[in-house]
Amino acid sequence: MILLSKQTDKWNRGESSSIPTEKAIDIIASMMYVIGIQLKTYLSFDLAIETIKTVSVESLFEKGLKIINQKVKFSRSLQKKIVKNLLNTENIFYRSTIFEGINGFFKLYRPQFSAHEIHITVDYPIFIGRPKLDGIEFIEKYLCYVEAENSFCILFSSKDIHHLLCGLTNHYQNVPMNIFEPVLLSALGLVLLHRDPIYLNLTESNVKQLYHIFLNKSEEVILITLKDGFELLNQNLRLTTSSKKYILLCLPKLSCIVKNAVNMNTLDKVFLIPFYPEQESKILFFYEERMEDKKYRELLDKMWELEKSEEKTTLILKEVYSMMDLLDILQEGNLFEEDVDHLVESLPLPLLIALMKQYPTDDFIETESEQFLFKALNKRKIHFSEDEKRKVEAVMRLLGKENNY
């Protein structure tokens, strides 16, 4: 209480003897944290307890503050070292957390009164997990882990890492995801297959090979295999001391991830296959202006004269160039369910996907013709061949969508 009184006086700058209850509680928590920092320097609990009995709380507090100031200096220095060689990535959370976010911590941190506070959200997730610490201890440990991850990742080309992450999602730039995990797993997978890990270029056949390596293996055996891969990786890349220690710390978690992926047959989501969006064809949708009323009425008249589905489909694909005209024809063009089925089966892939986007569910379907269309779209989707699935997935990626068919 004497120490709290002194801290309160400092916080009020001698202008008042009163303080809000919430702030008093906060200052007490900070005092306990600072004293705890000092007590952690002793080798045993018994020695720490004996120190509490024989050394004044104020003395422990002052010594704790000195340790905290040393940790702040070390953490600032470590952050500068990381930023100097920071991985060049398009992921917005990487730099914004390690540079701007950590700078925000140092700007707001006041160990004298709120030593236990972190103040920032720390949006970029490290692989090993968020340190279960507070205040400067959290920042110090977080930066040590980030340094180890960053030191490993900068051994590879930023372009190769970009393509690797695109293999997970084209939108990885806006996802608070850990970058180190897929890079490490890709490199481990490659060395286990006796390939050069530096390009991070696993193939589909490589992932199948890895599946057979890990199939029916226990988590313990998978861990041993990954450790063997780590030794090969170290020989190839000459890892930094911090990266080596960190990777060994991460391997048990990685073995669990690999085991679960094998069980669920999702190993391609763990050992990523690079995707090169710049090599993909560009798909452009050109929607013509709606046809003139007279021309549209003439088309409707022709539609009503036709009886065969094949004839109706041919006429529509020949005359209609506007999405709105197509939707109108589906409503007014004398089309029965079998006609719509035939039309949907004949649609080119981009137009088919545009209609799927237009009718993702039947929640807002009102007319019978819309019901025919929705059913026809789902029939074609269900009966996609493997080749059609691959083509649809490629188009969906180009359109910036992530759908599973």
**Position 349 pLDDT exceeds 80:** no
Q: How many domains does the chain have?
A: 3
Q: Judge if 133 and 189 occupy the same domain.
A: no
Do 136 and 150 meet the contact criterion of CB atoms below 8 Å apart? no
**Position 43 pLDDT exceeds 50:** yes
Q: Judge if 201 and 263 occupy the same domain.
A: yes
**Position 398 pLDDT exceeds 70:** no
**Position 134 pLDDT exceeds 80:** yes
Asked whether residue 69 is domain-assigned, the answer is yes
**Token code pair at residue 35:** 């004293």
**Structure confidence at residue 99 (pLDDT):** 95
Do 166 and 276 meet the contact criterion of CB atoms below 8 Å apart? yes
pLDDT in tens, 224-262: 999 999 999 999 999 999 999 999 999 999 999 999 999
Q: Judge if 142 and 29 occupy the same domain.
A: yes
Cα–Cα distance list, 323 to 15, 29, 316, 319, 404 (Å): 73, 64, 11, 12, 24
Average pLDDT over residues 293-305: 87
**Token code pair at residue 198:** 């530096």
Half-sphere exposure for 322 (CA within 13 Å, toward CB): 10
For helices 2-11 and 57-84, angle between their N-to-C axes, nearest 10 degrees: 50
Its pTM stands at 0.71
**Structure confidence at residue 36 (pLDDT):** 94
Asked whether residue 359 is domain-assigned, the answer is yes
Confidence category of residue 327, pLDDT binned at 50, 70, 90: confident
Asked whether residue 373 is domain-assigned, the answer is yes
Using left for φ > 0, alpha for ψ between -120 and 50, and beta otherwise, residue 56 falls in beta
**Structure confidence at residue 404 (pLDDT):** 44
**Structure confidence at residue 332 (pLDDT):** 87
Q: Judge if 224 and 300 occupy the same domain.
A: no
**Position 207 pLDDT exceeds 90:** yes
Percent of all residues in the chain with a pLDDT value above 70, rounded to a whole number: 93
**Token code pair at residue 2:** 């004497």
**Structure confidence at residue 278 (pLDDT):** 77
For helices 180-192 and 135-153, angle between their N-to-C axes, nearest 10 degrees: 40
Domain of residue 77, residue span: 2-146
**Structure confidence at residue 8 (pLDDT):** 79
> Which of 386 and 121 is assigned the larger pLDDT?
121
Domain boundary residue, one of 146, 164, 184 = 146
